Amino acid sequence: MGKTFSEKVLSAKSGKDVRAGDIVTVSPDYILSHDNSAAIIKKFRMFGVERVSRPEKIVIVLDHVTPASSEKYAQNHKEIREFVKEQGLSHFFDINNGICHQVFCEQGFALPGKLIVGSDSHTTSYGSLGVFSAGIGRTEAASVWATNEIWLRVPETIKIELSGKLKPGVSAKDVILKIIGDNGADRANYKAVEFIGPAAQEFSISSRFVLCNMAAEMGAKNGYFPADKTVEEYLSSITGEKIEPVCSDEDASFESVLSYDLSLIGPQVACPHTVDNVKPVSEVEGLAFDQGLIGTCTNGRLEDLKEAASILKGKKIAPSVRVIVVPASRQEYLKALREGVMETLIEAGCVVLNPGCGPCLGAHQGVLAPGERALSTANRNFRGRMGSRDSEIYLASPATVAASAVGGKLCDPRKYL
Amino acid sequence: MSEFVFKGRLWVLKDDKGNLIEDIDTDQIYHNAYLHITDISEMGRYALGNLEGWKDFPSKAKPGDIIAAGRNFGAGSSRQQAVDCFAALKISLIMAPSFGAIYFRNAVNSGFPVLKCAELEALAEKEHIKTGDRVEIDIRIGKARNTSTGETFQVEPLSSVQRQIYEAGGLFAFAQSMEER
């Protein structure tokens, strides 16, 4: 019997022949944390060791509340900077870099076959580059800092075969929303999700990122695309390291196999207050909203910003809405600037924020008032996530958010093609 | 010595229609607005602070209480405050048909018992368990009894790794004991 991707990576890392369900103790290649490093530091101090075990494995990116919005957040950032200095951590990225998951990939830490853990649930994103990457909590993050080890349960794997060609105006976001809507927010709890098939290979790295990022919203431990030529090309400009892809064997055992023909998928919307409450745009068309959000780690790359700009070019957003744009990183921001994409968005009336998590998690920048409704490209629509618990969040693609912003009401982006 | 048999008052997290609430995500358990807090003892007062109908839970909960929730409890973010806030209130354990993956890990690593119970929805629906009942649960063997009604039911006992970490008193103690070996 062959092995799945996850069984292979965790077998190699543990030095044992392991299968789904086994528990392994492994040393991750990298460990990511963000503003929550302040809390991790507190935990680490309780562990009883002076120095972190492997400083070169620790990656810290400040992104959640940047620049600091209050004295408390400023104090947390300050403690993190001091810790970075004290422990001699070289992989520290301050507030001017962007959202941790995007920055992590840009900096060449995410390589095929690597094992990466991060104290953020969307650590699953690096599966877009063929990485086994999973979110963990901060106690275990502190423990990994101290011991260089973590226990993991080898996950079963759900294989999702993608075929067919996406219709114009439909994107990776619609695909993953459709999959989550059909299967439920807990369908992949504790499990791995493999995206494979001819249509999977057609996806850009940016689009793969969207699917792996949101695999977390099915409860997945990790989500991934097998590394291929597209990954190799993407990484060639970032790192000189030799790429060694890991793929599931043909005869590996899968928990289940799902199939999707992308040509049959139209624009989708996740309605409040769970990500699996998904409907075709046509069913909610005409719904007025107050705030649009284009960007975040889910949809804040050049590909996404361009998709929005192509619709907003020469148009103005409705006076009844405000639209916030958050690029995923400084690099993506710069690319969009140089291509004139940002100019188009600003001319249309959008407000551009610095790359960071900002409004997505409701800590600052664009917090919603009671009774307000947001239409967002982010990954979560939990009650109260963006501010008041009496506000609502609808999730959609950049094209859908941009098109809807023009009339101030939810609409099918294909009417602007 | 770790405690294995818990006796406590039960809270069944139902909505106003009387259904066990599913998909209680980490934003409902512990809102983003309080993420800057790093001291666990301060987290209790925000537990379930964003869950419709349960905002006053911290003022009603007593040490030793037991929580029963719907499927996919703790979905969403990796924030550990969503576990720590219950530990701060000295809730003894949480049972649910299933848990968010990272939430479950966080609880295991904190040495906080979280137990899967497949029949919980049926038990709650038939009112075989109700808020205010006293329950007794042996987490080693998964045997549970509603001492208010005499009804017995089964929960999944602690898994091997879960028990080792629980017995050690949390991940740190567990990791330190591994280092010493």
Domain boundaries, chain B: 5-180
Kind of pairing, strands A115-118 and A30-33? parallel
pLDDT one-digit tens code per residue, A2-12: 999 999 999 99
B32 touches chain A (CB under 8 A): yes
pLDDT one-digit tens code per residue, A35-54: 999 999 999 999 889 999 99
* Contact assignment for B109 to A140 by CB distance below 8 Å: yes
A417 confidence band (pLDDT: 50, 70, 90): confident
Question: Which chain A residues contact residue B178 at CB under 8 A?
Answer: 25, 147, 149
* Contact assignment for A219 to B72 by CB distance below 8 Å: yes
* Contact assignment for B36 to A25 by CB distance below 8 Å: no
Four-point Cα dihedral B66, A135, A144, B82, nearest 10:
-30
d(Cα A251, Cα A254) in Å, to the nearest integer?
9
* Contact assignment for A137 to B176 by CB distance below 8 Å: no
Inter-chain CB pairs, A–B, below 8 Å: 124
* ipTM (interface pTM): 0.88
Tell me which residue in A121, A139, A220 faces B76 most closely, judged by beta carbons.
A121
CA A159 to chain centre: 20
pLDDT greater than 90 at residue B176: no
Q: What is the pLDDT of residue B1?
A: 62
d(Cα B80, Cα B101) in Å, to the nearest integer?
12
Average pLDDT, chain A: 97
Q: Is A85 exposed, middle or buried (0-12, 13-18, 19+ CB in 10 A)?
A: exposed
pLDDT one-digit tens code per residue, A362-392: 989 999 999 999 999 999 999 999 999 899 9
| Cβ–Cβ < 8 Å for A296, A263 | no
**Residue A380 is encoded by which pair of tokens?**
């979560």
Q: What is the pLDDT of residue A376?
A: 98
Tell me which residue in B23, B75, B105 faces A137 most closely, judged by beta carbons.
B105
N- to C-terminal Cα separation, chain B: 21
* Contact assignment for A137 to B27 by CB distance below 8 Å: no
* Contact assignment for B36 to A76 by CB distance below 8 Å: yes
Assign A127 to helix, strand or coil: helix
Range B124-130 contact pairs with CB under 8 angstroms and sequence separation of 24 or more: B124/B12, B124/B14, B124/B20, B124/B68, B125/B19, B125/B20, B128/B153, B129/B10, B129/B12, B129/B68, B129/B153, B130/B10, B130/B12
pLDDT one-digit tens code per residue, A166-198: 999 999 999 999 999 999 999 999 999 999 999
CA A336 to chain centre: 19
CATH code at A5-260: 3.30.499.10
Q: What is the pLDDT of residue A365?
A: 94
Question: Which residues numbered 100-159 in B keep a CB inside 8 Å of some CB on A?
Answer: 100-102, 104-106, 109-110
**Residue B56, min C-alpha distance to chain A (Å):** 15
pLDDT one-digit tens code per residue, B19-68: 999 999 999 999 888 888 888 999 999 999 999 999 999 999 999 999 99
**Residue B127, min C-alpha distance to chain A (Å):** 25
The superfamily (CATH) of domain A269-416 is Aconitase, domain 3 (3.30.499.10)
The structural domains of chain A, with segments of one domain joined by +, span 5-260, 269-416
Tell me which residue in A48, A72, A139 faces B171 most closely, judged by beta carbons.
A139
**Residue A73, min C-alpha distance to chain B (Å):** 6
Cβ within 8 Å of residue B10, ≥6 positions away: B65, B66, B67, B68, B129, B130, B131, B132, B133, B134, B135, B146
Quick one: what percent of chain B has pLDDT higher than 90? 86
B83 touches chain A (CB under 8 A): yes
Strand partners, B5: B138
d(Cα B128, Cα B126) in Å, to the nearest integer?
5
Task: With CA atoms as reference, report the closest residue to A157 among A20, A43, A297.
Answer: A20
Scanning every residue of chain B, which has its alpha carbon at the shortest distance from the alpha carbon of A360? B32
pLDDT one-digit tens code per residue, A246-268: 999 999 999 999 999 999 999 99
d(Cα A276, Cα A380) in Å, to the nearest integer?
10
pTM over 0.90: yes
**Residue B168, min C-alpha distance to chain A (Å):** 14
Topology given in CATH for the domain delimited by B5-180 = Aconitase; domain 4 (3.20.19)
d(Cα A180, Cα A307) in Å, to the nearest integer?
22
The 3-class secondary structure across chain B, one letter per residue, is CCCCEEEEEEEECECCCCCECCCCEHHHHCCHHHCCCCCHHHCHHHCCCCCCCCCCHHHHCCCCCEEECCCCECECCCCCHHHHHHHHCCCCEEEECCECHHHHHHHHHHCCCEEECCCHHHHHHCCCCCCCCEEEEECCCCEEEECCCCCEEECCCCCHHHHHHHHHCCHHHHHHHHHHC
